[in-house]
Amino acid sequence: MAQVIGIIADDLTGANDSGVQLTEKGIDTSVLFDIPEDQKNLNDGIVVDTNSRALAREDAYQVTRKAAAFLKDSGYQHIYKKMDSTLRGHIGTELEAVREVFEPEFIIIAPAFPPYGRTTVDGHHYVKGIKISETEISKDPKHPVTESYIPEIIEKENGAAVGLIKADELRQDFFSWEKKINKFRAEHTQYIVCDAETEADLQTIVERMSLLADKIIWSGSAGLAEVLPQVLKIGRDFDRQPIVQSKQVMTVCGSLSEVTQQQVHFAKNQVNVASIEIDTLQIFADEWKIYAEQYIADSIHGLNEGKDIVLYVPSNNEIRTQVKQLGDKLQFTPNQIGERISQAIGQIVARVSADAPGLSGFVLTGGDTAKETARHLGAVGFRLVRQIEAGIPLGTLIGPDREISAVTKAGAFGRIASIYHAMQELKGVLNDEQEANRRYNYG
C-alpha cells in the first residue's frame, strides 16, 4: 500500500483523534508536528498538524495551503481536511486553501461526531441537542463559535456558494440524491454541507458521493474519518500493537473545557494520585521561574512517593475573567495568552520528565498544551496505536531518546472517568478485553 490518505488538521488533539481512525482500519498512520521537507519514509496514512487554529486567518491560509501542496506532491490518493467537531478554527479559509491546491469537483463537509452528541440538522450544528452557538463553545476565550449554521460560516470566510443536503434528502433514494448533486454541479457549487445524526448517515454520505464524483475533498471530524477507509476500500486488518507500560503516569491539563475540568476533578480524587494546581496568573508574573520551580518540586515529590501526577490549570468564570483582564493589561491576544500558558506547562513537564526517567506515560489534554508539552519532551510527531475510547487515541511520541507513550484528549471529549481510565490504560491496569469494550461503548 502506497501513500493512501493524507489529513490536514489544525491542532494536535484533532490530528490524533482523526488519524487514529485510520490506524484502527489497518492503515499505518503518523501525526507530524511540522510539514516534512521531503517525501522520504512516509506512512500509508499521514496527518499534518498545521497548528493553524492558533494563527491569524491569513497565516492559517498559508500554512494550510503549504500542507496541501505537500500532500499533493507526495501522491496521497485521498485528502481529508479535519474539522473541529465544535466548529472552532478558520474553517472556510482553510477549506479554500485546500480547494485551490487540489481543484476538486466537490468538497463534502460533515463535521458530525455522533458518539459525543455532535450532530448536524438543517445545516445547523448541535452538541447534545443544543445549537453550538448556545453552548460553552460560544464563550471559548480563543475560538468562540457564535454561529451554528455551517453554510453561513463558510460563506462568510471565503465567499463561496455553499450547498446543503438535509437529513430528509440524505435518506431519499439514490436517484434523488444524484439529481441534487447534478444540480450543484450545474450551478458550479463545490462546497456541500451534509446533515448527519448517526454513523449510518455519515456512511451514506461517503457511499453515495464516491459513486457520483471522482475528485472529492472530504472534510469533517473523527466521525467522518472513521467511515472513510471501509467505504473507500482502503483499509485492511487491524493488528493491535502493544505499548511499553509506564509504572507511573503524569496527566497534563491545559484545557479550559468544563468537561475536562470535571474529568480532572474525578482523577485527582482517586487513590495514589497527587494533584498540582497551577495558578494561571502566576505564569504572567515576574517571579514565574520561582513559582515554576515549586511546581516542579511538588511533581517530583509526588512521583518519589510512588504516586501518579495530575498537573492542571483550573478554569471557572472568575479565573477566565481575571486572565482576560491581565491579558488586556499586557496587550496580549487570547492566542498569545494561550501560547504563554502552554509553554509554561510544557517547560514544567520537561523538567519533571528529565528528573524522572521511569516516567514514560502521559495524558495530554487540550490541543495547544498537548503539542507544546510533546515538543518539550523532544517529540516531532506521534505514532498512533489505537483509541481507548471513541476519539481518545493512544500512541507513542516520535523523537524522544526514550520511548514515551501518551494519550491525547480534546477538551470536550470523554466521560467523567476518561482521564483516570487513560492513566490506568498507560499503566497496563485495564487489559481485559471486555472492560475495553465496555469503556469504548460508554457502558
| Complete DSSP assignment for 311-328 | EE----HHHHHHHHHHHH
Q: Is the pLDDT of residue 327 over 90?
A: no
Q: Is the pLDDT of residue 443 over 60?
A: no
| Over residues 76-104, mean pLDDT | 96
Q: 21-35, pLDDT tens digit by residue?
A: 999 999 999 999 999
Q: 202-261, pLDDT tens digit by residue?
A: 999 999 999 999 999 999 999 999 999 999 999 887 777 778 789 999 999 988 778 888
What CATH number corresponds to the domain at position 394? 3.40.980.20
Q: How confident is the model at residue 430 (pLDDT cuts 50, 70, 90)?
A: low
pLDDT at 315: 78
Q: Is the pLDDT of residue 434 over 50?
A: no
What is the SS3 assignment for 168?
helix
Return the axis-axis angle of helices 150-158 and 91-102, rounded to nearest 10°: 70
Residues 356 and 294 placed together within one structural domain of the fold: yes
| Least reliable range by pLDDT among 131-135, 303-307, 337-341 | 337-341
Q: Is the pLDDT of residue 432 over 50?
A: no
**Residue 256 lies inside a defined structural domain of this protein:** yes
Q: Is the pLDDT of residue 8 over 80?
A: yes
Tally Cβ neighbours within 10 Å of residue 114.
18
Task: For the chain, state the CA radius of gyration.
Answer: 21
Q: How confident is the model at residue 440 (pLDDT cuts 50, 70, 90)?
A: very low
Residues 348 and 303 placed together within one structural domain of the fold: yes
Q: Is the pLDDT of residue 278 over 60?
A: yes
Q: 103-117, pLDDT tens digit by residue?
A: 999 999 999 999 889
Q: Is the pLDDT of residue 442 over 60?
A: no
Q: Is the pLDDT of residue 433 over 70?
A: no
> For the chain, what is the mean pLDDT?
91
Pairwise CA distance, residues 379 & 368, whole Å: 14
Residues 17 and 92 placed together within one structural domain of the fold: yes
pLDDT at 39: 84
Q: Which residue has the cell 464524483?
A: 213
pLDDT at 363: 97
C-alpha closest to that of 403 among 379, 425, 436 = 379
Residues 252 and 225 placed together within one structural domain of the fold: no
Residues 175 and 262 placed together within one structural domain of the fold: no
Residues 252 and 167 placed together within one structural domain of the fold: no
**Residue 238 lies inside a defined structural domain of this protein:** no
pTM: 0.91
Residues 126 and 57 placed together within one structural domain of the fold: yes
Q: How confident is the model at residue 431 (pLDDT cuts 50, 70, 90)?
A: low
Q: Which range marks the domain in which residue 48 is found?
A: 5-232
Residues 335 and 424 placed together within one structural domain of the fold: yes
Kindly give, in sequence order, each residue whose CB lies less than 8 Å from that of residue 408, ignoring residues fewer than 6 positions away.
12, 13, 16, 17, 363, 364, 365, 370, 382, 392, 393, 395
Q: Is the pLDDT of residue 120 over 60?
A: yes
- Give the range with max mean pLDDT: 72-76, 327-331, 337-341, 407-411: 72-76
Provide the domain count of the chain. Answer: 2
Residues 192 and 267 placed together within one structural domain of the fold: no
**Residue 237 lies inside a defined structural domain of this protein:** no
| Over residues 180-207, mean pLDDT | 97
Residues 284 and 208 placed together within one structural domain of the fold: no
Q: Is the pLDDT of residue 282 over 70?
A: yes
Domain termination site, one of 232, 257, 289: 232
What CATH number corresponds to the domain at position 138? 3.40.50.10840
Q: What is the dihedral of CA 36, 39, 41, 43, to 10 degrees?
A: 80
